[in-house]
Amino acid sequence: MNEHLPACSCGRYAPPALTRREALLRFAGGFGALALNSVFASQPVPSSTFNFLPKAPQFTPRAKRVIMLYMGGGPSQMDLLDPKPVLQKNNSQPIPGSIVQRAIGGSTKLMASPFQFASHGQSGLQVSELLPHLARVVDDIAVVRSGVTQHIDHGEALLAMHTGRGQSGFPSLGCWVTYALGSENQDMPAYVAMCAADPERARNATTAGFLPALYQGTPFNATGGNPIFNLKRPDTVTKADQALMLELTQALNRRHQEARAGLSELDARIQNFELAARMQIEAFKQVDLSTESAQTRGLYGLNNETTKAFGNQCLIARRLLEAGVRFVHLVRNDWDHHADIPKNLPKSCAETDQPIAALLTDLKQRGMLDDTLVIWTGEFGRLPVVQGGSGRDHNPFGFSFWLAGGGIRGGMTYGATDEFGYAAVENPVTVHDLHATILHLLGLNDHKVTFDFEGREETLTGAEGGKVVHPLFA
């Protein structure tokens, strides 16, 4: 018996253990016939009919890319973008029963906005004092004051705003867009999501649902040097070793997939392995803001602790769009102001107002705003009655959101709520209408972007579809 061989647990002797490098070198040759083309190729060959290769729109688009600024929680329309003088005059009076669509729990006492409104820009659009930076660019935005939704709870309303349905299992807007149009940069995800706290809500907002898992929104970190978790190659692994390991892994993955062609998760995982390798160069480049001028960094508020975090996200969003990412999604969840509107609403506005206005200004200066659609919205609005002394409860009957760029006519308002801001009374815009309008601006018909699921031809806007809001177009 060879006393130089190490013993194993079964009492026999085992050959010396191989290092990772030795194992790769020894076994890679045996899989040579299976090896993939280099994962670092500049133009990877798609392995599936589902991929991020650019696809032609169905008709001439006005927009090529999208930034969605989601202010989760429900921004208060009558304190930000929908001034109500009658509400001011009737402060502390009961809300008229004639306008109430369903019973209001708790107080029915009207609460006037504690903030002042003023007209701005050539359009004279009225904006709250809480949004001084947005006020400077109002001629570039179209404010819709008549948003409506069928859902009053955050979870269902969030799903509806992003997927068109109030229940889970359906794909989000960003997934539908990238499924239909692909990406202009094969070294980056087509759909990137940057999310503050509450990962569960972020997942619900970016879910691929029944679409191939490849189209799931990719979480992107704007706060540190590593844009995507676990993306950086360990220092102990060389680039050559990693390439060899990936080729071997992907060859085995492809063989495994051959007998399981119907599992989109497998195909997504394989393509994501390849994409991750390419992103190790490209993604780090996009979060390196050292190449931005001091003027640009100041524009986004990176020198101010209040605006720095969201300013980073907005600036990186612009860089991602510039690099060819199709859909960038910024998700916040801090606009649910049930109490102390005078304190909490100014905080949310102070953190986001300057970066958002900077994003519009920067895109316009670079000639990108014309074909970039920017959307600012929550899942619903707030009631005009008081809650908890100085807060407001959820309101699905009337809320405000705005759009800019990408074929939108700026400096205008569309629709209206009643004189108290309770419900939409003129040109109501449903979530399906908003989705149909977004797809139309991208050159897509919401009825014709379809996916066969369990024998049904599914769409973003469902069987009833949505109404394109043409008056918003330039």
For Cα atoms 204, 225, 305, give the angle at the middle one, nearest 5 degrees. Answer: 80
Which stretch of 116-130, 224-238, 277-291, 448-462 has the lowest confidence by average pLDDT?
Answer: 224-238
What does the pLDDT read at residue 439? 98
- Return the residue matching tokens 């602790």: 305
What is the rounded average pLDDT for all residues in the chain?
A: 85
Residue type, 184: E
Residue 35 pLDDT > 50, yes or no?
no
Question: How far apart, in whole angstroms, are the C-alpha atoms of residue 69 and residue 329?
Answer: 6
User: What is the chain's percent helix, strand, coil content, to nearest 5?
Assistant: 35, 15, 45
- Per the rule left: phi > 0, alpha: psi between -120 and 50, beta: everything else, 443 is left
Residue 424 pLDDT > 50, yes or no?
yes
For residues 321-345, give the mean pLDDT. 95
Residue 404 C-alpha from the chain's centroid: 16
What does the pLDDT read at residue 302? 96
Say which DSSP state 304 is in: S
pTM for this entry: 0.82
What does the pLDDT read at residue 5? 38
Reported in sequence order, the residue ranges of 88-199 that DSSP labels E, i.e. its strands, are 117-120, 125-128, 141-148, 191-195
> Between 270 and 404, whose confidence is greater?
404
Q: Which fold has domain 65-472?
A: Alkaline Phosphatase, subunit A (3.40.720)
Question: How far apart, in whole angstroms, are the C-alpha atoms of residue 123 and residue 411?
Answer: 5
Which stretch of 90-94, 210-214, 333-337 has the lowest confidence by average pLDDT?
Answer: 210-214
CB-count burial class (<10 Å; 0-12, 13-18, 19+) for 132: middle
Residue 351 C-alpha from the chain's centroid: 18
Residue among 462, 460, 474 at smallest CA distance from 327: 460
Question: How far apart, in whole angstroms, are the C-alpha atoms of residue 162 and residue 174?
Answer: 8
φ, ψ for residue 395, nearest 5 deg: -140, 105
Question: Percent of the chain, pLDDT > 90?
Answer: 64
**436-465: per-residue pLDDT in tens?**
999 999 999 999 999 999 889 999 999 889
Confidence of residue 281 (pLDDT cuts 50, 70, 90): low
Q: Is 48 helix (H, G, I), strand (E, B) or coil?
A: coil
What does the pLDDT read at residue 222? 67
What does the pLDDT read at residue 24? 43
What does the pLDDT read at residue 250? 63
What does the pLDDT read at residue 20? 47
Confidence of residue 41 (pLDDT cuts 50, 70, 90): very low
From residue 245, give the alpha-carbon distance in Å to each of 18, 42, 256, 357.
Answer: 15, 19, 17, 45
**353-365: per-residue pLDDT in tens?**
999 999 999 999 9
What does the pLDDT read at residue 268? 63
From residue 170, give the alpha-carbon distance in Å to each of 57, 148, 167, 312, 454.
Answer: 22, 20, 8, 30, 13
What does the pLDDT read at residue 8? 41
What does the pLDDT read at residue 214? 84
Residue among 76, 217, 62 at smallest CA distance from 147: 76
From residue 13, give the alpha-carbon distance in Å to each of 8, 22, 26, 210.
Answer: 6, 20, 21, 51
Residue among 154, 155, 283, 262 at smallest CA distance from 218: 283
For the chain, give every domain's residue range.
65-472
Question: How far apart, in whole angstroms, are the C-alpha atoms of residue 231 and residue 188?
Answer: 12
For residues 13-36, give the mean pLDDT. 43
User: Which alpha helices (H) appear in 226-339, and where do they start and end?
Assistant: 239-258, 264-287, 294-299, 305-322
Residue 226 C-alpha from the chain's centroid: 19
Q: Is 122 helix (H, G, I), strand (E, B) or coil?
A: coil
For residues 400-413, give the mean pLDDT. 98
What does the pLDDT read at residue 142? 98
Confidence of residue 382 (pLDDT cuts 50, 70, 90): very high
From residue 422, give the alpha-carbon distance in Å to each of 110, 153, 431.
Answer: 10, 17, 18
> Between 313 and 7, whose confidence is greater?
313
For residues 1-23, give the mean pLDDT. 43
For residues 209-232, give the mean pLDDT. 74
Q: Is 402 helix (H, G, I), strand (E, B) or coil?
A: strand
Say which DSSP state 337 is in: -
Confidence of residue 201 (pLDDT cuts 50, 70, 90): confident
For 149, the token pair is 């939704």
What does the pLDDT read at residue 199? 67
What does the pLDDT read at residue 221? 75
Burial 416-435 (b: 16+ CB within 10 A, else e): bbbbbbbbbeeebbbbbbbb
Question: How far apart, in whole angstroms, are the C-alpha atoms of residue 116 and residue 359?
Answer: 25
